[in-house]
A = this chain, B = another copy of it.
């Protein structure tokens, strides 16, 4: 059995408002922005550099912070107020779908920032890394899973966005999320991992934002995507209906109005405050949602998080608030 002892989140330093976007991209107007529903988002790069349609390398030169800085801040926010210190970590799993440097891995860079000389790796799927981290730990024999593991995804999609056209700039944000995973109840964990899976083949085909040439998405989102997600969430709810009274839902889907629609149709409570106010960074976003709306959740509430990754593979986890 695995538990989430703590969760943290951080965002880029450069706030980008809807007004900022409209001044760069003539296609945008208040109707489109309202429909999409993201109010602010954050970048690791200064606004004037993003507005200049610069290349990723040019942006790196002017970066306000790196994905690794974001990751470290997310770890700090996860540890704040807990009795857990980095020395207790036995493993660091990291990932960055938009790294500023290729080697060593993001996990190694984070471990280095924490001054840890321990196993540190990247396990990633671009859109569902943190889910894949939990799934990976669950796939091992329990005795080889460390007592406490750190999982961090730190993404900087704004490094790749052309802000003068399209809606990628409206939705995406530089963000990191960190999870402290433990197999020991002594750490007074926030959540029990009731179930976690990764690799379900889904038919989500709305993704087309070129990040690292892997990811992309189109708008409007086909209704089949919504129907499939509603059907999936409903089947999970059915399975756990006797266990949980309330079901919350968060997702790596980058559009708040879409999550609201899915939540409404599946009769779950959406966790989207973080998404509206911080933008989306795919794999990190459902876990940042937990961080931002933790106060809403009560003991015995169920949380369903979904995330889609490379190769149109989907992951999900069901968590119980302890």
Contacts and interface: CB of A to CB of B under 8 A. Distances in A.
Give the dominant DSSP class at A's interface.
loop
Q: Name the interface size band of chain A.
A: 20 to 34
Contacts of A103: 124-125, 132, 309-311, 313
Contact of A121 (B118, B121, B309, B313): B121
B117 A140 contact: yes
A166 to B, nearest CB: 24
A56 interface: no
Interface string A94-126: 000000011111001000000001110111110
A117 B143 CA distance: 10
A141 interface: yes
A90 B91 CA distance: 14
Nearest to A145: B119
A29 interface: no
A123 B140 contact: no
A295 interface: no
Interface of A: 90-91, 101-105, 108, 117-119, 121-125, 132, 136, 139-141, 144, 214, 309-311, 313
